[in-house]
Amino acid sequence: MNETVTNFIVDTIDDSIEALKKLCRIPSVAAKGEGLEETAELVEKMLEDAGLETEVHETSGAPVVTGWIDFGAKRTLLFYNHYDVQPAEPLDLWDSPPFEPDIRDGRIYGRGVADNKGDTISRIWALKAFIESGTEIPVNVKCIVEGEEEIGSLHFPKFVEKNQDFMKADGGIWEFGGEGYDGVQEAWLGLKGIFYVQLEIETLARDVHSSMGCVLPSAPQRLAEALSSIKDEEHRILIDGFYDGIKPLTEAEWAAIDKIDLREADIKKNYGVDEFLNGMTGRDFKEAYYNAPTCTICGLTSGYQGDGSMTVLPAKASAKIDFRLVEGMNPEDIKKKFRRHFDDGGYSDIKFLWYEGYPAGKTPIDHPFVDVVRRANAKVFDDLKVHPTSPGSGPLYIFKDHVPMVSIGVSDYDSKGHSPNESIKIENFRKGMLRLVHLIDEMGRW
């Protein structure tokens, strides 16, 4: 590795932080359709400044930005990122404005700094380090930065369908990763699938005085009854056929998992709980963490939510639910089974508003590209835990027929992605960029 490349990362750390701040100042909230065009333009400009050829691909939603350098090398490395972020609410829980990045105690705070703008900048800066130092990049490089990951990558599959050749590579780096509870870096080889649904019910023409609750139906009451039918007291999902076809973890995956300490006590402390569901621990906890599907009520809305009291019988109620899916589960199949569950239970009056979803995807744990990532990590960090998959979701399934993907990044266990006071450690940001330049170098030797 040419030292001028690594020196560039160290010497320009302030510049890379400023680039990250600039990107985080734009409130690119996909759920609200805010700032997406502006952010896509900035990402394209940053890729151009790093020496890549670029193109902005219009979709029916947010643009997809691509960048590439083709040296005619033996290997091609692909980076996948997204420039959209989660809503910043509740705003009153932030210690600093979410879209005015702030540095405190060695951390950068701001919405999107961990998920996923910090990783986006780190990858652009790693490429910039080669170009600016006059060092030849030993691999071909492709970058894909989409703008709808946080709402299920609604239009990304159509982009992939139209750009099959661009998707091909020898190895790819997914959009997240970082430091675990024990300070050890973590890599993830897979992601669960997901789909999202909004449930709506209207039992009256309008809200009425609550005294009429003795003779008129309550929308939130009926919705609550329907929701309570989804799980039993042990949190098992009661939708008929929900667990059919799930692929168990392989022997190779279990061999890796058995060596991983998931730091149960630290997880409990971080989330403020005394125990996990059903008191699970050990192998039961690990199996659920890596390979259990979920059904989560993400939000409930009905009636009066202001200060004080208001005696009202609400006419409407709604709930937002997400399902996390593991290998062997198909979103369309689960949607049909969920609808049938409510219909058979007498809740056909509840309307379903479906959001797009996708299945799970994984890279084999014994793929040689995983060893390339291990070697690069060892040049900067002491160790690397390799997880066969993540409890989180992402459209990794799209890539599994084109390129093996490994997820590493610059965040950590306390980054609070999707929550107030999202942040990353500046030291992890710096070291993450150094790891990436070593990854590019190692891949050139593969």
User: How does pLDDT run along the chain (446 residues), one tens digit per residue?
Assistant: 789 999 999 999 999 999 999 999 999 999 999 999 999 999 999 999 999 999 999 999 999 999 999 999 999 999 999 999 999 999 999 999 999 999 999 999 999 999 999 999 999 999 999 999 999 999 999 999 999 999 988 899 999 999 999 999 999 999 999 999 999 999 999 999 999 999 999 999 999 999 999 999 999 999 999 999 999 999 999 999 999 999 999 999 999 999 999 999 999 999 999 999 999 999 999 999 999 999 999 999 999 999 999 999 999 999 999 999 999 999 999 999 999 999 999 999 999 999 878 999 999 999 999 999 999 999 999 999 999 999 999 889 999 888 999 999 999 999 999 999 999 999 999 999 999 999 999 999 99
Is the domain covering 193-354 a CATH 1.10.10.60 domain? no
| Distance separating alpha carbons of residues 312 and 212, to the nearest angstrom | 9
Q: Are 220 and 203 in contact (CB under 8 A)?
A: no
Q: β-strand 171-174 against 405-407: which pairing, if any?
A: parallel
Q: What is the pLDDT of residue 29?
A: 98
Taking only Cα atoms into account, the Rg of the chain, rounded to an integer number of angstroms, comes to 23
For domain 3-189+363-445, which architecture applies?
3-Layer(aba) Sandwich (3.40)
| Distance separating alpha carbons of residues 151 and 194, to the nearest angstrom | 10
Burial class (CB in 10 A: 0-12, 13-18, 19+), 70: exposed
The pair of three-digit structure tokens given for residue 124, joined into one six-digit string = 């652009």
Q: How many residues make up the chain in this entry? A: 446
Residue 295, phi then psi, degrees to nearest 5: -135, 115
| Distance separating alpha carbons of residues 245 and 204, to the nearest angstrom | 41
Exposure on the CB side of residue 387, measured as CA atoms within 13 A? 26
Q: Are 146 and 64 in contact (CB under 8 A)?
A: yes
Who's near 244: CB < 8 A, 6+ residues apart? none
Amino acid at 414: D
Q: What is the pLDDT of residue 154?
A: 87
Nearest of 222, 225, 226 to residue 213 by alpha carbon: 222
> Residue 382, Cα to own-chain centre: how many angstroms?
25
| Distance separating alpha carbons of residues 44 and 308, to the nearest angstrom | 49
The pair of three-digit structure tokens given for residue 32, joined into one six-digit string = 């609200």
| Distance separating alpha carbons of residues 342 and 360, to the nearest angstrom | 25
Give, in order, the Cα–Cα distances in Å from 191 to each of 152, 178, 300, 370, 400: 13, 15, 27, 16, 11
Domain ranges across the chain: 3-189+363-445, 193-354
Measured CA angle at 219 (ends 218, 223), to 5 deg: 120
Residue 51, phi then psi, degrees to nearest 5: 100, 10
Residue 279, phi then psi, degrees to nearest 5: 70, 20
The pair of three-digit structure tokens given for residue 169, joined into one six-digit string = 């590579």
Q: What is the pLDDT of residue 9?
A: 98
Burial class (CB in 10 A: 0-12, 13-18, 19+), 282: exposed
Residue 304, phi then psi, degrees to nearest 5: -80, 130
| Terminal Cα distance for the chain, rounded | 14
Torsion sign over Cα 443, 75, 131, 428: negative
Amino acid at 70: D
| Distance separating alpha carbons of residues 177 and 198, to the nearest angstrom | 29
In terms of C-beta distances under 8 Å and separation of at least 24 residues, what long-range contacts does 302-306 make, across chains too? 302/219, 302/220, 302/223, 303/207, 303/220
**What predicted TM-score, i.e. pTM, was given to this entire model?**
0.89
Q: What is the pLDDT of residue 401?
A: 83
Q: What is the pLDDT of residue 28?
A: 98
